[in-house]
Chains A and B, each alone.
Chain A
Amino acid sequence: MRRIESLWLPDDIKNVWMITFEVQKIASMGGLGNAVYNIAKRLSERGINVTVFMPSHGRHLNDYYRSFLKLRNIDIVIEGNRKGIDNNYYPYKIGFEEGNLENFKIVLVKGLDYNTGRILDSWNIYDNVMEKASLLTRGLEGYVLHNIDKLPDLIHAHDWHAVIPAIRIKQLLEERRVIIPVLYTIHLLNQVGAPWHYASQDWSGIEDCYHYVWMVSRHNLYKYSYVWDSLSNGYIEKFGCYEADMISTVSYSYLTFDVYNFVGNWIANKSCITYNGTDWSVEEAENKVVQLYGTKDRRELRKKLLSALHTLRIIPDDYTSGNILWNNRSRIGLRDDWTYEDLGDGPLILFTGRVVYQKGLDLLLRAMKLVVNEINNARLLIFGIPAKDYGLLWDIIERTAEIKDNVRLILGKVDSELYKLYHYASSLLAVPSRWEPFGINAVEAMAVGLPVVAYAVGGLRETIIDIRENPDQGTGFLVKPESIDELAKNIKISIYLSEAADNNDISLLSKIQDLKINDSTYWNKVRINAANRVKMKFRWEVVINSLIECYKRALEMAKYRALASF
């Protein structure tokens, strides 16, 4: 900490507090937990002390997590009352558990009485989410006051749930003339809104005082309620954008098309990009394949995997999804023992992701029908995570049944090693998302040398290099969003290229229209390009550099904030 006049500012970023609702290996639904886990781990490897704060989600009550995280109770009790709009007071009592995950510290915020525990310790991450975020704020408020001598150099808030806690801490410290930069990362916009009372001192704790807010080119003095109601229309994410010193998101496309459209492009000069990353690598996958199958030939492995589906036993966790699948099992190649009927050898398209409208599986299956009309032995394996959209699931089953000999619909958790092997063995990954902030599955696929055919949306436009645009460095195809016909055409081209390479058959290239490729092994080059691109740009050790740069900019912006009061 350095003193400027009467203010204290961090010199450098050595200690970071992260606030999140998800961390992989503790409580995670998918992308957010994975990103927070990896960021914390990699920052720690760079010598930065990271402490991750999150609601306990009841994990501290479970023996496995207690020992896995080496949890211990911290001797701090935060008690108080929140005042409702009904003028009644609602007491809360909050405690903390401290533990370690990998090389960083975890602080779980837990309830110490029934009513608080009911919210903070609820096992499902997003149960009573507004209340969880509010009580998390109250807990962290108390934690800061008990640890005023051990303050961080930066607060990193992940997604909207962390906005109010982070801003409350910022406020608490600013009142004490300590300026701590706040970075707010938007992994996915949720557009959640609430009346000012929710954030206010009565409920979550933010006092309605004047403070400086960055407005495009200078700081203006506003009350918190004004920023909430008038500037943000009650949207928590907008509020976070006004109040944080720096905003980061997962791709330029997401920033410019989605975040700007929601928040306004005035945040341009206080925003940065931090891609998601992966640890997957083609070398690791190759070694695994050699170890298990004695070959690293993708075609051979593909044949083996497709003829071993009768040994793949996957059951969805969600009862209703399982029930729907079971009742239609004979139509979709699902066997009575929850294994799958084998598929014959052929070029293999892979789909991974949740079965939700966003992911566009309905579009892919329609495109697949057009593909199969021309390439009869094309195969599609869907590794889907059921997401309780049963209307969509019915449609997916109907479409799958239409091309039963070519598609297997596999819903549920797959062993992660096997999952990687399917990626290694496939001809291409299809990512037919209608929108996609980043699209980590495309990056994971490319990491093991699997080219991607995706709709040109969101982060996919930045992770994938279109072969047409850049034949030397192309990693796949970007397709007009939501066009079934274009998706089918590009999948067909990819299959012809892939088959030409696998079979060394140059005649297949003549079937490709609108693209001139003369080299039968071109798809192998695309595979190498894909793996190289991930190594250069999307491995966590690379990604973390841009985050550190972003931290530095947040510190600069915090300095401007400090100087605004002079």
Chain B
Amino acid sequence: MKRIIIGFEVHQPFRVRRDFFWNPRFRQGLEDRFFDTETNREIFERIKRQCYIPATNIILESIEKAEEEGREVKYFFSISGTFLEQAERWGKDVIELFQQLSYTHKVEFLAQTYYHSITGLWEDKSEWREQVKMHKGIIKSYFREDPITFENTELITNKEIIEEAERMGFKMFISEGTEKNLKGKSPNYVYRLRGHNISLLFRNFRLSDDIAFRFSKRDWDQYPLTASKFADWISISEGNVGLIFVDYETFGEHHKEDTGILHFLRWLPIELGKRGVEMTLPREVYNDAYNEIDIEHTTSWADIEKNEKSWLGNIMQWAYDDAVRRAEMPSKELGNEYLKVWRYFTTSDNYYYLFLGSGGPAEVHSYFNAFGSPIDAFINEFYAITVFLHEELAKLNIMNEPYIFTREGKRASIAWNYKEFMEIIMRDERFKDHMKHLKEWLGK
């Protein structure tokens, strides 16, 4: 490959209080009652020290040094809104560093959902669209960029989400290079969604996971992974343009500094340059579509199955998700703090903690789990969203059962009163035929 795109997922969630069920709180501010601000701050500050500051400094130096040498070093970042909120509170220096990166014009900031949420999987995409718009807004305000590349949370991709992204004006969509969708094609090309104008880039998960998962595995036959070896692999790979996309926390947090990961980050662009491999960006290749492709499956970058089941795959996750959707319209009706806090519940991490499984995937989930176990997570998270919902209902004087919209047998948005019902129909016309049930539901 002559061209490589390298980018990082930068995200921190607001974690639900890990003891919310056992020690419920009723007297603090809304966010502090449900979310563990202290833990969130501690985690952010630790990772800032170990990763965000040193890794970003290395990238900035790489870009500047390369400029002096007449080379180009380029990276993309997909930074969630919740990360930027946390950085605004506990790490302004991180934001300043990212802003310095943006001044170099060698960095692309992608769009995603502000809350890094799984709302893209909801039947009704209204909330997802709002979160994407919010994210575009925050990227514009911090980095003065209008993203044209979209990365849905955790690379959760299906045709519907890509089409929605295209309707919102995006020209490039980042997806996981799974066999299910590629069907034997190489991930190292730009594709165009069949019959559409939006282009797709597929993550080369083998090369990405070499860094993200295998870098410090001593029992890996390729250990130690040096920048020159990795650059060799890239340069001899077949294809037109490859995509490497990993969590930013890979550099200093998942693999600690003593593994040599930060040196790897420093040397990789130099070694790529030696081999004549150009670093490029998604926004620079959207017109480079090599072939058209059909997307028939829902895919993501998580686990072995690489589908949506890491977030919506068991009954605990479905129940939590239903509760979150029940609270959507009341939160929107109440607005302000309620809406903001409700949106923290939509963050994918809160779903991810509820994953049940075994083997490698369970180990990965366990590593990332803010709770002791999925069941522990469920008890506290489900109780939290239930208490949150019932407080909202009380505030809105709602005493009746909800109206649950369905589409093709799938539970969708949930209304608690006439206003919310009409709002749902207004924002998504596909639910119009539910009008016939309105009178019956209202008991008139």
Contact = CB atoms under 8 A, between A and B. Distances in A.
Task: Please indicate whether A and B come from the same complex rather than being unrelated chains.
Answer: yes
A482 B287 contact: no
B275 A482 contact: no
Nearest to B190: A484
B240 interface: yes
B290 A457 contact: no
A28 B89 CA distance: 71
Contacts of B240: 363, 482, 484
B275 A484 contact: no
Contact of B288 (A257, A362, A457, A484): A484
Contacts of B2: 434, 457, 481-482
Contacts of A457: 2, 276
A362 B189 CA distance: 12
Contacts of A488: 287
Interface residues of A, number: 15
Contacts of A261: 274-275
A485 B275 contact: no
Interface string B287-319: 111100000000000000000000000000000
A531 B290 CA distance: 34
Contacts of B190: 484
B325 interface: no
Contacts of A483: 3, 284-285, 288
B289 A484 contact: yes
B276 A484 contact: no
Contacts of B289: 366, 484
A264 B289 CA distance: 36
Contacts of B275: 257, 261
A366 B290 contact: yes
Given A257-B275, A363-B240, A481 B285 contact: no
Given A257-B276, A261-B275, A481 B287 contact: no
Residue from A363, A434, A480 with most neighbouring chain B CB atoms (10 Å): A480
B278 interface: yes
A370 interface: yes
A485 B3 contact: no
Interface string A341-364: 000000000000000000000110
A434 B241 CA distance: 12
Given A363-B240, A434-B2, A457-B2, A480 B290 contact: no
B184 to A, nearest CB: 12
A481 B287 CA distance: 14
Given A434-B2, A457-B2, A485 B278 contact: no
Residue from B3, B190, B287 with most neighbouring chain A CB atoms (10 Å): B287
A461 to B, nearest CB: 10
Contacts of A257: 275-276
Interface string A472-506: 00000000111111001000000000000000000
A362 B238 CA distance: 14
A447 to B, nearest CB: 27
A336 to B, nearest CB: 31
Contact of B287 (A362, A434, A480, A484): A484
Nearest to B274: A261
A253 to B, nearest CB: 8
A482 B3 contact: yes
A488 B240 CA distance: 15
Given A484-B190, A485-B287, 7 more contacts: A366-B290, A457-B2, A481-B2, A481-B3, A481-B276, A482-B3, A485-B288
Interface of B: 1-3, 190, 240-241, 274-276, 278, 280, 284-290
Interface of A: 257, 261, 362-363, 366, 370, 434, 457, 480-485, 488
27 contacts: A257-B276, A261-B274, A362-B290, A363-B240, A363-B290, A366-B290, A370-B287, A434-B2, A480-B278, A481-B2, A481-B276, A481-B278, A482-B1, A482-B3, A482-B240, A482-B241, A483-B288, A484-B190, A484-B240, A484-B287, A484-B288, A484-B289, A484-B290, A485-B285, A485-B286, A485-B287, A488-B287
